Chains A and B, each alone.
Chain A
Amino acid sequence: MSSLVEQTAAELLRRLQASEVSATEVASAFLDRIASHDEKIGAFLSVWREQALERAADVDRRRAAGKPVGLLAGLPVAVKDVFCTRGELTTCASKMLEHFRPPYDATVVEKIEAADGIILGKTNMDEFAMGGSTENSAYRPTHNPWDNERVPGGSSGGAAAAVAAQMAPLSVGTDTGGSIRQPAAFCGTVGLKPTYGRVSRRGLVAFASSLDQAGPLARTAEDAALLLEVIAGHDPLDSTSANAPAARYSQTVSQPLEKLRIGIVREHLGAGLDAEIAAAVEEAIRVWKDLGAEIQEISLPHNEYAIATYYIIAPCEASSNLARYDGVHYGYRTDETKMLAQLAAERKAAEVNPARLEEIDTPLVRMYRQSRSEGFGAEVKRRVMLGAYALSAGYYDAYYLKALKVRRLIRQDFDQAFAKVDVIMGPTTPTPAYRLGEKVADPLASYLGDTYTVSANLAGICSLSTPCGFTQSGLPIGLQLQAPALEEDRLLRAAHMYQTATDWHLRRI
């Protein structure tokens, strides 16, 4: 029998239900694994050892007494540090929220706990979920478990690394432009971005509200289906949550799909794609043909504009959302005594020129500016600036409004494609995991890595990444599957089918 941490959530759940193992033993095994491995990986920002063991003991007691237990009863879950957890640090990997303890739980957290999932701790991420490498964390970078010199992807890098390094069987992340799927691809796990609105955003610290969506990371499609079943569903406290019944994903995930029609975007397999990834995707196409799928070439003509569209819309929404960090209500505030002394010195220096006096900030405005500049990291400042610029007088039509129009064209491309095919398949990322530091100085290069993922967020459809191979140097490769809005069931069943014919998802570090 393999050790507990190597097992999938489904295997663990079966053994928990058969009383072959206790929730306390399972939680201990993963907490010990974190203690021995996370110093090197850096997947967690906080570990909830005591609470986890208490909750596990409670599940064991209820199970032994024959009382009802939830769907996840005794399964450990890692939670990205972007979800509010009542009374527990929720930092978004930002200095701005270093000491922030929310007064309420995110709906996703409430649902995991109501299902008796055992939260192990909060995972590392790019600050405020902005980035694709987890290097933008204000606290520490996360290292890719397959090669510690490389990034795990991001922004849910800690979430993916925790699963890949067997420090959690399940984790929950968020995806605004690829932030679940890209780290899943880089770390060799499954990652699902549900349809916009499928999972409640209440208590999820906002980055870009029309694009943000929470979803599961796991080793298998079956495990992702289980966690999605727990967190999905309408939430009256999130008025943008989809008022549509969520399926019993874990019950249907193993049912194969007959005569599946798969669309391939030829342009996505050409220029700009790493040769080893291209070969792995071609091999996946062959596997699907053996599984009886019909492969069709389709076109998404506006996809080449997706990144430009995204890097207008997301920063615009971010600049608005992050206005709440004002040094007043919660979060970081600059040293006021120093700030007032600095202002006084500026006023004194400007006395010779009254016109310059006019330009000096009021104490309140300077407090805002100084607090935000000291509390935010470089990438967050860049995006807030980009958004503020694009929304400022004279630029709104050329940037924001234009991007919203192209967004509709991107969506229409998907509508037309899904009239012909059931799912669209291709690479998740143009390259495998890159080295730490490699793209830090070049934000645009890092943005271009989102080329295959951002359009799903813009269109609001669901999309998943599953392992489909390894490079010669041993780095995981991700296969992206996309399905129409609210068709997570189809996506998970397709991924499960693929996983019955391949064993890439079973490889362990």
Chain B
Amino acid sequence: MALTPEKVKQVSLLARLQLSDAELELMTRQLGRVLEYIDKLAEVDTENVAPLAHAMELSNVFADDQVAASLPREEVLANAPKRDDACYRVPAVLGD
């Protein structure tokens, strides 16, 4: 599966990154080499092998349903790059 600049550009939207033409070209080359190396996984017979997503195969770790204090709003909003008194501010989502 050869990696193309078009594919990399498409993935950059999924990854919410904006790549310059030079970055796009470099990324295509560097990721292409990594993917070529990774293709060696195809050699491994994984027929009937269950995937292992997590080394500790826990399931359903429950916590008691207890009411506890949340972080104070002011402390959490303190790191926001743009805010008003109670909310985060973002560029207009709907058309102008």
Contact = CB atoms under 8 A, between A and B. Distances in A.
Contacts of A104: 71
For chain A, which range describes its interface: under 10, 10 to 19, 20 to 34, or 35 or more residues? 35 or more
B79 A101 contact: yes
Contact of B44 (A305, A331, A365, A485): A305
B63 to A, nearest CB: 7
Contacts of B33: 443-444
B75 to A, nearest CB: 4
A405 B90 contact: no
Contact of B90 (A239, A364, A372, A376): A364
B78 interface: yes
Nearest to B3: A389
Nearest to A374: B18
Interface in B58-82: 58, 61, 63, 71-72, 75-76, 78-82
Interface string A411-450: 1000000000000000000000000000000011001000
B2 interface: no
B12 A210 contact: no
Nearest to B82: A333
A119 interface: no
A385 B12 contact: yes
Given A101-B79, A239-B63, A367-B90, A382 B30 contact: yes
Given A328-B90, A385-B27, A447-B34, A369 B79 contact: no
Most buried by B among A239, A382, A385: A385
Contacts of A67: none
Contacts of A240: 54, 56, 58, 61
A308 B14 contact: no
A408 B76 contact: no
A405 B49 contact: yes
Contacts of A326: 16
B79 A329 contact: yes
Interface string A458-480: 11110000000000000000000
B56 to A, nearest CB: 5
B18 A369 contact: yes
A409 B41 CA distance: 12
B37 A381 contact: no
A408 B50 contact: yes
A364 B23 CA distance: 22
Report, as a range, how many residues of chain B touch the other chain.
Answer: 35 or more
B41 A403 contact: yes
Given A368-B16, A381-B27, A443-B30, A329 B41 contact: no
A332 B30 CA distance: 26
Contacts of B86: none
Nearest to B96: A363
A388 B19 CA distance: 14
B34 A311 contact: yes
Interface string B8-37: 100111111111000100010011011101
Contacts of A370: 18
Given A332-B81, A386-B34, A443-B30, A404 B53 contact: yes
Interface string A381-414: 1101111110010010011011111111101000
Contact of A369 (B16, B75, B90): B16
29 contacts: A101-B78, A101-B79, A102-B79, A103-B75, A196-B56, A239-B61, A308-B40, A309-B41, A363-B91, A364-B93, A365-B16, A369-B16, A369-B17, A372-B15, A385-B11, A388-B15, A402-B41, A404-B52, A405-B49, A405-B50, A405-B52, A406-B44, A407-B51, A408-B50, A409-B49, A443-B33, A444-B30, A444-B34, A460-B55
Interface of B: 1, 3, 7-8, 11-19, 23, 27, 30-31, 33-35, 37-38, 40-44, 46, 49-56, 58, 61, 63, 71-72, 75-76, 78-82, 88, 90-93
